[in-house]
Structures are given as structure tokens and as C-alpha cells.
Structure 1
């Protein structure tokens, strides 16, 4: 699976306070697979948000970042038992938590949602274009195809790559340009590990209910605007002439 997606960080924080000063440690496990070799254990010591020293399982030793931190790191590095103790945390903390994450989160799948809509074609000999947008699916691999009258369409089709949303989910968009024919039956077909069978979304050229409502609202607004404009013109014209309009039979 994609390593950029699976790069995780487990974070543990321990706080100590004394005379309004804050001393704390932070423990992190960074991994991009469930293999021990792909994990790193990091321990950091802070004082009032300033990092004094840290330990990394990659280097296998402590490193100091301030005068006090350098002395502390040298003292800890000179203690073989302490180094051995911290090196074990990679397996004790990181391996155990990574296995839990992969079992309960990363091995799960999420079904995609599909939106099929029309757009104006970018040009060329075809007068119509459909866009099949697939949202919120996991894992990344997915297959999106088009069918026309029961046959898979392989020409005049373009698709984006799987696009990461940044929240573990992905989206993808596929476009079909074509020349409409009477009785056309066009479908977008999605195949994904979360689906027991391909998800087939048929194109309905008639307006959806929401689109119809938008047109009605827009037309109503236009009519009301014209009524208000004509009423205002009539009022100011009569007011300017100083006459009162009286209805007659």
C-alpha cells in the first residue's frame, strides 16, 4: 500500500512541573508498514518547550541540543543498560501499536459514493460530455469504466489519478465525450475492494429534482424582481406627476 498514506505517528506525553517550570517527555512511533524494520522509536526531553535531548532507534543513541542536553545525552549514552532499555521500546511500543492500527484501521475498506453529471465538452467533434466523480473511498486502488448500451467504452475516455483528500480517503474523476443517440443507455461502472459487485450508475438525461427546484427558484426570483422594478417605476412616475391613479370600471 501507499507508504505516504500509511506513515503514522503514535504520540505519548509525560509532564512534570516544579516551581512553574515545565519538564516533559514525548514518545513517538513513526512507521509506514507493520514490519519492524520500517519503524522508528523517538524519545524527546523538553524543558519549557525547548528540546534538550532525544533518542532515536535509527541512530541507537541520545543526541543533545543544548549545553545541558549535550551533557545529559553523553551521560545516558555512557550507560549501556539505559541504551539497551530504550532500544527495546521500538518493539515494545511501536510494533505492538502498529499491529493494532493495521488490524483495526488500515485493513478496512470504505465504499465509494458516485456522482454522475454532464458538462460542456472542451471542443472537438462530440457535442456532449459526462463526468463520473467517485468520492470518499479507501483503499486507494479503484477501477472506473464506462458502458454504452451494455458495451464497455474504451475511446474518448480520460481519467484522473486517485487523488488523496488528506483524510485517508480518495477521489477520482472520469470523463466521457460522446455524440448523443436516441435511446442511449450510458453508465459509469465502479469496481472497488469494498464492493461485493461493481457499482453501476446510470445516466438519466432528464433534470434531477434538485436541478428542477433550482430552476424554479431562479425563475421565481426573476419574476419577483421584474414585478418590483415595474412597480417602482410606476410609483415614481405617478408621484412625480402629482396625480393619483383612481381605478375605473
Structure 2
């Protein structure tokens, strides 16, 4: 499995409101893809009423101004060796320290993927059948999904989506296989992920098409519901009959 590029940010924000309603905001950001200092970028931005007027970047090594006010302040700060040395040290003292903690707490964790197979109706004029392998609830993002026919990897007729974030640290991916069913063959979806000790293989049950299984399940449910309603009606009828009182007639 190949490596992937991970870019993550850590933020710290400070703000100051004045009596006339203006706001001064400073934002410190650590962008990184590993715990190595060479893979870390520290930036410190200063905002006045939502407008960034100056920024310090560890890759530049000094302050840069973006407004007239910011240029004047950047020049002043850049001429102060103690100020520059303190900002340059943040890459190691703040970013390096916190990134190491964060990697241990989150990025080294993993979650095993789950997978299921289902069939889809092919488009008009398309292939006779299409299988979809849905893999979900896995972390980290990098994963490999392949198709097997009788134990041999299949490459023709295979399309896959990109890994999609669920918004809760987990990912999902969908792989499609267009194929012509043959008697006695075995179709499987193979999933390889860093959280798995061995590949996860899910076999397709081709004994009955999924659409037919759904029809049978729906029909059986309808039959059971009909029997229940009929039984309830019969019980209600019998109870009403028993409660009926016969009044004798007189000549």
C-alpha cells in the first residue's frame, strides 16, 4: 500500500474587543504532515475587524505586512531580534510539542472497515449485472479495494469512488464491478487496510438475485400481515357473537 499525504492544522486564537466595538484577533496555526520539524509550518496572523494586516511565517522567518498599518508594524517587529527569535521558536516549542501529543492521541489510531455487497440494476443497454462493494467506517483514509473472481483479481469493468469523509473521522468508499454472471463462479470483494491483520474478503451470494430476494421478503411480509388481520377479524366476530342476547318473542 502506498503512502498518503496528510495535512492537518492546529489553531490557537486570541481576541480583544475595544469599547468602540472594534476587534483585534490573532491566530496561530500549525500545518503539518508528520511530527518532523521540516514538515511543520507555523504562521501567526493578526487581524483588525476581520482584515488580516500582518503575518509571521516560519518559512519566511519574519513578519510581512498587508496594509499600510501592517507594513509599519512588520518593520518594527522585524527590527526587534528578541521578537523575531520568540516567533521563530514557536515552530518547535508550540507546534512540535502539541503535534507530538496529537499524533499519539488521534492520528496513530485506526478503525477497521466494514464491507457489504449488493447488486444494482444495470442501465439500459449496459452490462447484464453490476455489483457494488460498499466499505465504510474506516480510519485512516488510505485503503485498497479489489475484486476477485474465483480467487483471481479482476481489473476489467471495475470503477471506484474516492475515499469520502463522513464528517466524524471515518471514511467510506464504493467500488463497482460490471460482469456477466456465470454458473459456479465465485465473486468476492477484497479490502486491505492498515487496521486489518489480514485482508477482509466478502463473498457474493449469487444463489438468488437481490431483487428476487426482496420480492420474496415483501410477499412473505404481506402474507403474514394478511393472516394476522384475518385472525383478528375472526376473533372480533366470535366475541361479538357470544355477547349477543336473544330476547324471546310473545304471541
TM-score interval w.r.t. the shorter chain?
Answer: 0.7 to 0.9
Alpha-carbon spacing, 1:147–1:70, altered in 2? closer, same or farther (3 Å): same
The equivalent residue for 1:196 is 197
> Following the alignment from structure 1 to structure 2, what is the Cα–Cα distance between the partners of residues 170 and 131?
13
Whether 2:37 is the aligned partner of 1:32: answer no
1:1-249 equivalences under 5 Å are: 1-3=3-5, 6-19=6-19, 20-121=21-122, 127-139=128-140, 140-148=142-150, 151-154=151-154, 156=156, 158-160=158-160, 162-165=162-165, 167=167, 168=169, 169-175=171-177, 177-181=179-183, 184-205=185-206, 206=208, 207=210, 211-212=214-215, 215-216=218-219
> Following the alignment from structure 2 to structure 1, what is the Cα–Cα distance between the partners of residues 219 and 69?
73
Alpha-carbon spacing, 1:180–1:87, altered in 2? closer, same or farther (3 Å): same
Q: Which segment is superposed worse, 75-84 or 153-162? A: 153-162
> Following the alignment from structure 1 to structure 2, what is the Cα–Cα distance between the partners of residues 95 and 49?
28
Q: Which runs of 5+ in 1 are unaligned?
A: 221-249
Alpha-carbon spacing, 1:62–1:96, altered in 2? closer, same or farther (3 Å): same
> Following the alignment from structure 2 to structure 1, what is the Cα–Cα distance between the partners of residues 37 and 166?
25
Query: What is the CA distance between 1:214 and its match in structure 2?
Result: 7.8
CA displacement, residues 50-82 of structure 1 (integer Å, 9 cap, x when unaligned): 222111111111111222211111111110111
TM-score of the pair, normalised by structure 1: 0.72
TM-score of the pair, normalised by structure 2: 0.72
Alpha-carbon spacing, 1:130–1:172, altered in 2? closer, same or farther (3 Å): closer
Q: Which runs of 5+ in 2 are unaligned?
A: 224-251
CA displacement, residues 189-234 of structure 1 (integer Å, 9 cap, x when unaligned): 32322123332323234448993588459989xxxxxxxxxxxxxx
Give the number of equivalent residue pairs: 215
> Following the alignment from structure 2 to structure 1, what is the Cα–Cα distance between the partners of residues 119 and 31?
44
Query: What is the CA distance between 1:106 and its match in structure 2?
Result: 1.9
CA-based RMSD of the aligned residues comes to: 3.2
Structure 1 SS opposite 2:130: strand
> Following the alignment from structure 2 to structure 1, what is the Cα–Cα distance between the partners of residues 28 and 149?
52
Would you say the 8 A contact 1:163–1:171 is kept in 2?
Answer: yes
Structure 2 SS opposite 1:189: strand
